[in-house]
Amino acid sequence: MRLLFHSPAMASAAAIFPSSSPLLRASPLKHLGTFHQHLPFASLWRRRKRQISGTAALDSSISIPINVDYLETEFSGHGVTFEAIGDSCVVKMGLVNGSVASLMLPCGLITSYKPYMWHGSTFEVLHTTVSEGDGGAAVVRGGVSMDFKIGGDGSIPWSPSSWSLQSVRGSPEKSIQVELASVSPVDMAEVRCLVTLHQDLLGSELLISNTKSSRLRLTGSFISHLKVSTPDAAYAVGLQGSNYQSRQPFSSRFSMDPPDLGRRSPSTSKKPWTQNVLRRLLPGWGDTGEENEEELNEGGDAEESEGEEEDDYAHLTQKMSRIYTSAPRQFTIIDRVGNHLHSVQLYFSSMQSSFSLCARVMIQGRRNSVVIRRSGFEELYVSSPGSEHEWHGKYAYICIGPAAQLTPLVLGPGETWRGAQYLHNPNL
């Protein structure tokens, strides 16, 4: 059966989101166990450095043309395939056990991660949207992105935003690692990113080397949009006792925050999530004038404040944006509804010529959960768009990421810093 795409954005969506079947069927495996090394990073840096004009802009990286045919020839044979989408390229990784992931070049955005699950198929962990922009071009938001600024004393900060493929390592039987590189337009920093797909984990490791004779300052964050049915059914487990500061949501070119994320959410957050399920399925369920007045009174601008997480099972139903400064290195996001079918059984009973309605929500299947680990970062960013949006819709996500926002990281001359985020699937 042929698929007809009516716009470039629709065609891009099909390429960005991989199917649940292993990708290695699309490309025969060859040269297993061989590590391809193309243009070592130091060589690439020296070559690009000679080409850079002293007046080059400092707010973006150098875009290196993408030759998809060359990438297929040079880097195939590890369970990796490449597909051209306009001026971009989608790199797809697939393991024998069924786990798949994809990222885009040159922007470096990880658009999809589907680990193998206990029920025998895969499940999309990341929340990514593709819409049509000016001229029919695809606009991609969400996923896992890196939003960092690197600068020195008296210099204009630079953000690594354009990446080139350096090497592909591993095999589809165990793990696949893709190495990306980005170079600053002046002699400032060398940046590498290692994206590794394991059978039960997706790792993103960032290495930044200071090539200046003076120190560099690094600020920013990984920003991961984790897919949930609704924030009203999402919980953060393991953050109890962690200090935090409430801040405005991080903004990047891949953000999809609602326009009113800086405002507090209605009081539905104070109700059990099962009651909010019923209110969506049965309009008017539980509504009273007092509740409506309470919701109106809770509106207003969100204030920047400090606090301590009191609940080890923190409900993420409210609009919120926090930077945790003493969070553990590992915690869990749980979706109590997940992607499974939920149904309502209705029971009617007659009492004194009146009818009462009882509802019971039946959740079929296990809860979905993702374990987030970090290294090299002291801060943790957590954001929720709130629960008044459509289930499984554009704003059905929780945003998390290791961060260095409140306290910048400092790299001395010649030093290399390493930081990482790991998304672990405990649902095997």
> Rounded to whole angstroms, what are the CA distances from 22 to 75, 96, 124, 287?
18, 6, 14, 48
pLDDT at position 13 is 59
Give tens-digit pLDDT for 13-53.
Answer: 556 656 543 333 333 222 223 233 333 344 444 444 433 33
pLDDT at position 376 is 96
Is 157 within 8 Å of 150 (Cβ atoms)?
A: yes
State the pTM of this model: 0.74
- Band the pLDDT of 199: cuts 50, 70, 90: very high
Please, which residues have CB within 8 angstroms of residue 125's CB and are 6 or more apart in sequence?
113, 114, 115, 202, 226, 227, 370, 423, 425
Closest CA to 93 of 105, 103, 80, 110: 80
Please, which residues have CB within 8 angstroms of residue 275's CB and are 6 or more apart in sequence?
285, 286
Please, which residues have CB within 8 angstroms of residue 154's CB and are 6 or more apart in sequence?
none
pLDDT at position 210 is 94
Give tens-digit pLDDT for 305-350.
Answer: 899 999 999 999 889 999 999 999 999 999 987 544 333 333 333 3
Give tens-digit pLDDT for 245-294.
Answer: 998 888 888 888 776 655 444 434 444 544 444 444 444 444 444 444 33
Give tens-digit pLDDT for 126-157.
Answer: 999 887 777 777 788 999 999 999 998 777 89
pLDDT at position 16 is 62
226/371 Cα distance (integer angstroms): 11
Residue 231 φ then ψ, to 5° = -55, -20
Closest CA to 62 of 139, 135, 159: 159
Give tens-digit pLDDT for 78-126.
Answer: 899 999 988 889 999 999 999 999 999 999 999 999 999 877 889 899 9
Give tens-digit pLDDT for 375-387.
Answer: 999 999 999 998 7
